[in-house]
Amino acid sequence: MDTLTTPAVESLYDELFLNGGFTITSRPDGSAYVPNDGYAVSLTPTQHTIPATASFDAFADLVRSVTARYGAANGLGGWMSDGVIYVDPVEIIPDQQAAILAGKGREQLAIFDLAAGIEITL
């Protein structure tokens, strides 16, 4: 995923605090969009976090760090839980069973159903 502009990161920050999280993916031309179906599955068991009380600049640094480290990933997901912000490189998998298998193989606790807007615990 390409480096996100400051307005794009601001939009993700708003989504995080107003709606509890975000998922974006990139098209072959490099533009980003919000997927509305499939299952978001983290690409790595590594957690990328900051406290929810951290500044916008700290959030922007985290987003840019994750996108730089996982540049080949075509998606990015973020959510908040128990006072912690999580940002992960994600893959959108169309099939639920394939997503569950991928999530388990990547040592994930859950995947996210984009159409239903719910977490599926593994």
Per-residue model confidence as pLDDT tens digits over 61-92: 999 999 989 987 889 999 999 999 999 999 99
Q: What is the pLDDT at residue 4?
A: 79
Q: What is the pLDDT at residue 43?
A: 94
Whole-Å CA distances, 77 to 10, 41, 53, 103: 14, 9, 19, 14
Average pLDDT of span 42-69? 94
Confidence of residue 93 (pLDDT cuts 50, 70, 90): very high
Sort strands 32-33 and 49-51 into parallel, antiparallel or unpaired.
unpaired
46 vs 34: CA distance, rounded Å: 23
**Residue % of the chain over a pLDDT of 90:** 76
Statement: residue 6 has pLDDT above 90: no
Statement: residue 118 has pLDDT above 70: yes
87 vs 19: CA distance, rounded Å: 15
Exposure string of 39-71, with b = 16+ CB inside 10 Å and e = fewer, is bbbbbbeeebeeeeeeeeeebbebbeebbeebe
At 11-20, the pLDDT tens digits run 999 999 999 9
